Chain A
Amino acid sequence: MNLRFWRGWGVGRRMAVITMLPVALLFTSFVWYSWYAHRAQVAEELAERGRILARALAETSEYNVISGNLSDLRLTINGLVQSDRSIYRVDVVDASGRASVRVVSESATDAQPHYYEAQIRKQVVWINLFSDNGTPHVSASSDSRPPTLTTEVVGWVRVTMSPSNMMAKQTDRFQIELSMAALALAASGILAWVLARSLIVPLREAIGSLRQIRGGNFQVNPPVSTGGEIGELQSSIGEMALALGESKRDLENKVAERTRDLLASRNEALRADADKRKLIQKVNEIIEDERKSIAVEIHDELNASLIAARLEAQAIGLLAAKAPPGAEVTEIRRKSEAITKLALDLYANGRRLVRRLRPEVLDMLGLHGAVEEVVRHYDSTSGCRFDLHSEGDFARLSNELAISAYRIVQEALSNVMKHAGARSAHVSLLLDEGKGVLRIRVVDDGAGFDTASASEGIGIIGMRERAYALHGTIEVRSSPGEGTDVAIALPLNVPAQPSLITPAVPASAS
């Protein structure tokens, strides 16, 4: 048996047990003792009465037994026996043991198994009776009271008692006591119930209030319905709810404040971001413009001068051919040829420079053509196989977007050439007009790199910046030995300036 079985009990039950247990114990012991006491009282009283009766009857029947006046004695005893229902039988036995008188009660029903016996003694008065015994016969009173002595036993009185009558009386008393005790027990029970209830109800209310507080309702204000610890608990809960409500309001106010600050910072950052994009765009524009002007300078001035220089060198060669042969003439001819060749190389370099600075192919062939051109160029000039896949009509792309896309592809291919050591690379251009996105993807089967550890090179940063300036996204997926996959998405329409969010003022904020 678990000795701590009561641990699972509620307060009410404990309270009831605490209140009722002593009362119940008291009740039990009281009832038990009362019953015992009544029984003992009957026994004692019967014994006492029996003894006294026997003694008294012995005293009174002395004369009748001695004088033999038994009918008188019978009358006396009969009167006594019939008047007292607790006497069952009275026997008077004479000295020879013969029953002289027997009176049995008419009303008593049961008898005790034993009887109370008293000797009938013959009483003798020792006074000076002027007998010839030596002492002077003085008729005046002697100083001492003459003793009354008993000499012989002339019979016995035996009283048999009947307990039923006395027992019935005691049982009545016991029943009254029992009912009073039961009443007290019931009253204690009610009291215990009331007490337990007075404890449970405020506790339940307190628990309910705590639950409400847990649920976020700090507006509970449990009434202080009782005193003592429970009343203190109730008032504490009220105070706690109040304090919690206040601290929550404080917190909310702080959060709102922070939120406002945060929004402001965000807006600022957004604004700075937009500025940055604009700046990058502007820088790119300027770079492109500068490149264009440099290309124009090279094309128009340098290349024209180089052509002129070739023409001049060719003219020298022609002149030398017409001049008499000699060593000098041969030397002149060879030099003019060298100059012509140099001029041609320079021209070719100049043209290559112009092409790099200003992809006019873009203007001429559009994005698709330009990309095709550059792919073909790389495919032809390196050991790596490049191929291009494109979908969509790129004609309507803006110049800016097209240049950026072109530069991105250029940079990506340049990276493949410089770092990947790939055997093949695949370029795809997809124009998703439904979503308004241009998707560029460059995949190679090269060495790859760890995107987490390796720092980005200038190439990727450049690509990222270009995509960023156009509000596009760039995604680089690569791992060592697995090749590299660069995916760029550029929105066709540059979104408008992002709206600045003004912080929402919380309703509760003051």
Chain B
Amino acid sequence: MNRTLRSIGKDMGANAPALASMLALTLLIAMAAGAVQAANQAAQQTANPSTGQVAQPAASSLATPVAPAAPVAAQQERSDSRGDNRSDNRGETQGFRFQIITGDDSAVTHRIAEDLYKRLVPTFAAFRTELAQKRRMLYIAIGPTALRDALSRRCDCVVISAYTSSQVWRSVTSRQSPSQNQARQRRPSSTAIYAEPAPSDQMRLAALLYGRPVRVGVLLGPDTAFLRPQLHDAAEVQMYSPGEDLNHTLNSMTRAEMLLALPDSDIYNAENVRNILLSTYRRKQGVLGFSSDMVKVGALATTYSEIEDINAQVAEIAAHFVATGELAEPQFPRYFRTIINEGVASSLDLRVTDAARNFARRAPAP
């Protein structure tokens, strides 16, 4: 079935090249009805975003009363949906189904989708006998493109965003909150597991690396300014607005012993990363990156989450939602490991301890 879907997607792509790359792989699991019916349903769902023709009847039938634009609104929606699910609308909404939305066809995406599918299937197996139309859809969006796609759907559904940074998640969800009332009505409620490590974990790692509390500096741009209150106490926050001399900004951050890098395309883009790494290195400031790759190209260390870690967390959120009807708040990855660039560490005269190396929070075995 998986293959069938993909081939349909490809055919569509040939007819509409602009959208073909966006939806290469869609997995639809229909647990309730017969296999053929489920397949038809899946084909309809796949065709929805690209053509827009089939979407209208589907949206009408699956419409939810409120579509929140912000996480705050999502909480509101969650409380509503809890009532829908279990007590009031028991006759209408008798179960849940899920769909993994991908934004590209890369190997990593395949790996993520396959692993996630295995983890989610047991959760949703209970609703297999329900009619497809009666079950509430849970979208899991892998990456920003998939998130944008999921949020564009007009349905009474829930979106869990994974593999998208907090900055992008925020910008996408805020952009997806148009002023039109009609559109707002249909917004699916969403939550996210941010792609970047939790700043609190990073802080702990910094302390572990230095063996003492460290003065950590953070550069925040307009898109990441929302993190300022959260970081204000723990780190020296330096604001940066696009167009400023980044070197100058970095130079003014003299007191910090480390720089905590957070995903922000205004600051950490391909052209700047090397410069930032070099500048901080010259001032003997270690950089706590936000991905393994960044550590490999010269950052000092980071906590990071494997695909399985994130997927476990997604499964937990999904299970919690299915069980309680409550959608968790957007959160940083719960399970992580640590990677340290030993070369950089020794250059910075840091003696890396095993405590730092083994700093992790492992996901429970599935």
Chain B neighbourhood of A140, CB < 8 A: 291-292, 304-307, 309
Which chain B positions have C-beta within 8 A of A126?
270
Report A264-289 CB contacts with B as 1/0, cut-off 8 Å.
Answer: 00000000000000000000000000
Q: Which of A104-159 contact B (CB under 8 A)?
A: 122-143, 145-146, 148, 151
| In the complex, chain A residues whose CB is within 8 Å of the CB of B265 | 129, 131-132
Task: Judge if A63 is at the interface, Cβ distance under 8 Å.
Answer: yes
Q: Does A66 contact B (CB under 8 A)?
A: yes
CA of A447 to CA of B330, assembled, Å:
180
B144, A124: Cβ atoms closer than 8 Å: no
The answer, yes or no, to whether A68 is at the interface (CB within 8 Å) is yes
A11 → chain B closest CB, angstroms: 78
> Which residues of B sit under 8 angstroms from A143, Cβ to Cβ?
107
Partner of B275, one of A67, A142, A151: A67
* A127 near B247: Cβ-Cβ < 8 Å: no
A133 in contact with B304 given A126-B270, A127-B273 (CB within 8 Å):
no
Q: Is B108 an interface residue (CB 8 A)?
A: yes
Q: Is B80 an interface position by the 8 A CB rule?
A: no
Residues of chain A within 8 A (CB-CB) of B304 are 139-141
- With A128-B291, A128-B293, A139-B197 known as contacts, the answer to whether A123 contacts B104 (CB < 8 A) is no
Q: Which residues of B contact A134 (CB under 8 A)?
A: 103-104, 143-145
> Is the CB of B206 closer than 8 A to any CB of chain A?
no
Q: Nearest Cβ distance between residue A434 and chain B, in whole angstroms?
A: 147
Q: Which of B4-12, B39-47, B294-302 contacts A (4 or more CB under 8 A)?
A: B294-302
Residues of A within 8 A of B306 (CB): 140
A129 vs B165: C-alpha distance in the bound complex, in angstroms? 9
Question: Are the CB atoms of A137 and B279 closer together than 8 Å?
Answer: no
Residue B172 is within 8 A (CB to CB) of chain A in the complex = yes
Option from B172, B269, B309 in Cβ contact (under 8 Å) with A129: B269
**Pair A136/B302 contact, Cβ less than 8 Å:** no
B contact residues around A151 at 8 Å (CB)? 271
Q: B274 at the A/B interface (Cβ < 8 Å)?
A: yes
**Contact of B291 with A146 in the complex, beta carbons under 8 Å:** no
The answer to whether residues A139 and B103 also contact, given A127-B293, A129-B265 and a CB cut-off of 8 A, is: no
**Taking CB as reference atom, which chain B residue is nearest A122?**
B271
B139 at the interface (CB under 8 A from A): no
| B293 surroundings in chain A (CB, below 8 A) | 127-128, 141-142, 146
| A residues less than 8 Å from B207 (CB atoms) | none
Distance of A134 Cα from B141 Cα, bound (Å): 11
Contact A130 B108 (CB under 8 A): no
- Beta-carbon nearest neighbor of A134 in chain B: B145
B167 lies within 8 A of chain A by Cβ: yes
A148 and B293 alpha carbons, distance in the complex (Å): 12
- How many chain A residues sit at the interface, stated as a range, is 20 to 34
Q: Is the interface of A mostly helix, strand, loop or mixed?
A: loop
Q: How far is the CA of A241 from the CA of B146 in the complex (A)?
A: 121
Q: How far is the CA of A134 from the CA of B197 in the complex (A)?
A: 19
> At the interface, yes or no: B268 with Cβ under 8 Å from chain A?
yes
Q: Are A132 and B168 in contact (CB under 8 A)?
A: yes
Is A133's CB under 8 angstroms from B270's CB? no
Does chain A have a CB within 8 A of B77?
A: no
The minimal Cβ–Cβ distance linking A283 to chain B, given in whole angstroms, is: 155
The answer to whether A145 touches B163, judged by C-beta atoms less than 8 angstroms apart, is no
**Cα distance A122–B270 in the bound complex, in angstroms:** 11
| B196 touches A (CB below 8 Å) | yes
Q: A124 and B143 in contact (CB under 8 A), knowing A130-B168, A138-B163, A146-B296? A: no
Q: When chains A and B are docked, how far (Å) is the Cα of A143 from the Cα of B172?
A: 28
Once the chains bind, are B108 and A133 in contact (CB under 8 Å)? no
Determine whether B195 belongs to the interface, using a CB cutoff of 8 Å to chain A. yes
| Neighbouring A residues of B271 by C-beta, 8 Å | 122, 124, 151
Instruction: Identify which of B270, B275, B302 contacts A139 (C-beta below 8 A).
Output: B302
Q: Is B142 an interface residue (CB 8 A)?
A: yes
Distance A133 CA – B291 CA, assembled complex (angstroms): 16
Interface size class of chain B, counting residues whose CB lies under 8 Å from the partner chain: 35 or more
**Beta-carbon contact of A135 and B278 below 8 Å:** no
Contact yes or no, A138 B103, CB < 8 A: no
Q: Which of B255-272 contact A (CB under 8 A)?
A: 263, 265, 268-271
State the CA gap A138–B116 with chains docked (Å): 14
Residues of B within 8 A of A148 (CB): 297
Query: Which one of A129, A135, A146 contacts B268 once the chains associate, using CB atoms below 8 Å?
Result: A129
Q: Which residue of A lies closest to B194 (CB)?
A: A137
Task: Name A129's closest neighbour in chain B (CB-CB).
Answer: B268
Q: Is the CB of A131 within 8 A of B108?
A: no
B290 within 8 A of A: yes
CB distance from A180 to the nearest CB of B (A): 50
Known: A125-B297, A141-B292, A141-B293. A131 touches B263 (CB 8 A): yes
Nearest CB of chain A from residue B301's CB, rounded to whole Å = 12
Return chain B residues, CB-CB under 8 Å to A139.
Answer: 195-197, 290-292, 302, 304-305, 333
A134 to B164: give the CA distance in the assembly, Å.
9
B317 interface contact, C-beta 8 A:
no
Judged by a CB distance under 8 angstroms, whether B89 is at the interface is no
The chain A residue sitting closest to B277, CB to CB, is: A125
A138 proximity list for chain B (CB < 8 A): 108, 112, 163, 195, 291, 307
Distance between B358 CB and nearest chain A CB, rounded to angstroms: 17
Question: Which B residues touch A135, using CB under 8 A?
Answer: 103-104, 106, 108, 143
Given contacts A137-B165, A139-B291, contact A130 B195 (CB under 8 A): yes
Of A68, A132, A141, A146, which is within 8 A of B247 by CB? A68
Minimal Cβ-Cβ distance residue in A for B168? A132
Instruction: Report the bound CA distance from A142 to B306 in whole Å.
Output: 10
Asked whether, in the complex, the Cβ of A67 is within 8 Å of the Cβ of B247, the reply is yes
Query: Any chain A CB within 8 A of the CB of B171?
Result: yes
- In the bound complex, residues from chain B placing their C-beta under 8 Å from that of A125 are 270, 273-274, 297
B194-233 with Cβ < 8 A to chain A:
195-197
Contact with B along A54-74 (1 / 0, CB 8 A): 000000000100111000000
Cβ distance A226 to chain B, nearest Cβ, rounded Å: 77
- A130–B269 Cα gap in the complex (Å)? 9
Query: Are B297 and A146 within 8 A (Cβ)?
Result: yes
Which residues from chain A contact B305 at a C-beta distance below 8 Å?
A: 139-140
Look across to chain B and name the residue whose beta carbon is closest to the beta carbon of A133. Answer: B144
On chain A, the residues within 8 Å of B163 by CB distance are 136-138
CA distance A66 to B263 in the complex (A): 22
**Residue in contact with B168 in the complex, picked from A124, A131, A145, A146, CB distance below 8 Å:** A131
When distances are taken between beta carbons in the complex, the residues of chain A under 8 Å from B275 are: 63, 66-67
Q: Is the CB of A137 within 8 A of B196?
A: yes
Min Cβ gap B342→A in Å is: 15
Which B residues lie within 8 Å of A132 (CB)?
144, 168, 171-172, 265
**A-B contact sample (14 more), CB < 8 A, given A129-B273, A146-B296:** A126-B270, A129-B263, A129-B270, A130-B291, A131-B269, A132-B265, A135-B104, A136-B195, A137-B163, A137-B164, A138-B112, A139-B333, A141-B339, A148-B297
Q: What is B's interface to A at a CB cutoff of 8 Å?
A: 103-104, 106-109, 112, 142-146, 162-165, 167-168, 171-172, 195-197, 247, 263, 265, 268-271, 273-275, 278-279, 290-294, 296-297, 302, 304-307, 309, 333, 339
Can you show 16 pairs from A to B with CB atoms below 8 A apart? A66-B247, A123-B274, A127-B296, A129-B263, A129-B273, A129-B291, A130-B290, A131-B265, A132-B144, A132-B265, A135-B104, A136-B108, A137-B164, A140-B304, A140-B309, A141-B339
Interface residues of A (CB under 8 A from B): 63, 66-68, 122-143, 145-146, 148, 151
The 5 closest A-B pairs by CB, nearest first: A137-B195, A141-B292, A136-B143, A136-B163, A130-B263
